[in-house]
Amino acid sequence: MRRLFLLASFLVAAAVSAGEPAAASPIAVKLATVAPEGSPWALALQAFKEKAEAAVPGKLKVKLFVGGTLGDENDTVLAVKRGQIQAVGASTGALASQVPEFNVLELPYLFTSYEEVDHVLAKVIQQDIEKHCADRGLTFGFWSENGYRSFGGKFAVKTPDDLKNKKMRSQENAIHLGMYKAFGASPMPIPTTEALTSLQTGAVDGYDQAPLYLFAASWHTASTHYSLTNHIYQPAAIVYNKAAWDSWPQDVRDALTAAAKAVEADLRAKVRALNPILVKNLEEAGLTVTRLSNEQLAPFAKIGAQARATYMADASKSEKALYAKIEKGLKDLRAGKAK
């Protein structure tokens, strides 16, 4: 009798379970970045995560991996392309390792103001970048910002000659390597996550980096100087694995897109507002900050133009086409301001 009761109970439970399908597991999105915990980047991505998840309760789980815990930028960009992780927030220099067209955004002295940056990113090349990402198995998410890069390390940079024969940590990117060679330096391609150790051991004399990441990653602790050459404006972006993105339900994609719009402009504004504060913090930390006049910067810009021309001479057809669009967009903007 007891066996019959247990069997009946099992059948009833099975019938109830069959009538009520189990809830689907939330879509898991691993998002990697080298931005340290507590940095503006990391805080913005946390806000992005919370907004996206709240828009589709129980359907999405964004897991942030900050501080390079899943690898350096180039490694994590490749991992996203391969589908090993679903998303990455990286500098355009690193994204260019898989989408070469991003290279042209990092050409030295290409932009002279944030107004020019915003105009080009939003109104000139947005659709092109989205297409180039899609062609390489990625879906463009939204823009972020590292900012203007300047030279730092164990010595002051007041003229281009100050860089000659110096061992400089370089981002693993053809634009950056070419720029250093144009200045007569000896570039050493070293992953971002290994740069501080290279400075501490004396393997390199210096580097270039934006104040945001320089301070967040503690490179200033192994530096004595920072010279405001502002030679490369470096955007950043969040991209997804395209196959994963295409497989997600529309409401999940809409939630991610809406969250991106909610944090993108605010993140860039905060990064820009922080820059002068961070430079002051570098001085307070004991670094000598060298501020260059427009006259002092002119020789740097001249060499930067030569480096741009050298890179573009051998650039791909698609890079040249994108660069031409950028140049035209800048020319039109500057002409409009001159009227």
Write the pLDDT tens digit of every residue in 281-308: 999 999 999 999 999 999 999 999 999 9
Residue 21 inside a domain? The answer is no
- What confidence category does residue 216 fall into, taking pLDDT thresholds of 50, 70 and 90? confident
Number of domains in the chain: 1
Q: What is the average pLDDT score of the chain?
A: 92
**pLDDT tens-place string over residues 147-182:** 999 999 999 999 999 999 999 999 999 999 999 999
Q: What is the pTM of this model?
A: 0.88
Give the CA distances from residue 226 to residues 172, 209, 287, in Å, rounded to whole numbers and listed in that order. 21, 10, 7
Q: The domain containing residue 170 runs over which residues?
A: 29-338
Q: How far is Cα 20 from Cα 81, in angstroms, rounded to an integer?
A: 37
Angle (CA) 211-214-219 rounded to 5° is: 145
Q: How far is Cα 187 from Cα 203, in angstroms, rounded to an integer?
A: 11
Residue 12 inside a domain? The answer is no
Looking up residue 182, the CATH number of its domain turns out to be: 3.40.190.170
Angle (CA) 181-136-313 rounded to 5° is: 35
Residue 181 structure tokens: 């060679």
Residue 35 inside a domain? The answer is yes
Q: Could you tell me which residues come within 8 angstroms of residue 193 by beta carbon, excluding any fewer than 6 positions away?
A: 34, 68, 71, 72
Buried b or exposed e, range 65-92, using 16+ CB within 10 angstroms: bbbbebbbbbbbbbbbbeeebbbbbbbb
Instruction: Find the helix packing angle between 174-182 and 294-313, rounded to 10°.
Output: 120
Residue 20 inside a domain? The answer is no
Residue 11 inside a domain? The answer is no
Res. 116: pLDDT tops 80: yes
Residue 330 inside a domain? The answer is yes
**pLDDT tens-place string over residues 5-59:** 333 443 334 433 444 444 579 999 999 999 999 888 899 999 999 999 999 999 9
Please state, for a pLDDT cut of 90, what percent of the chain lies above it. 87
Q: How far is Cα 2 from Cα 159, in angstroms, rounded to an integer?
A: 93
Q: How far is Cα 65 from Cα 173, in angstroms, rounded to an integer?
A: 23
**9 exposure class (CB count in 10 Å sphere: 0-12, 13-18, 19+):** exposed
Residue 15 inside a domain? The answer is no
φ and ψ at 69, to 5 degrees?
-65, -20
Q: How far is Cα 149 from Cα 317, in angstroms, rounded to an integer?
A: 27
- The distance from CA 153 to its chain's CA centroid, rounded to whole angstroms, is 22
Residue 62 inside a domain? The answer is yes
φ and ψ at 303, to 5 degrees?
-70, -35
Mean pLDDT of 250-258: 98
At 338 the pLDDT is 65
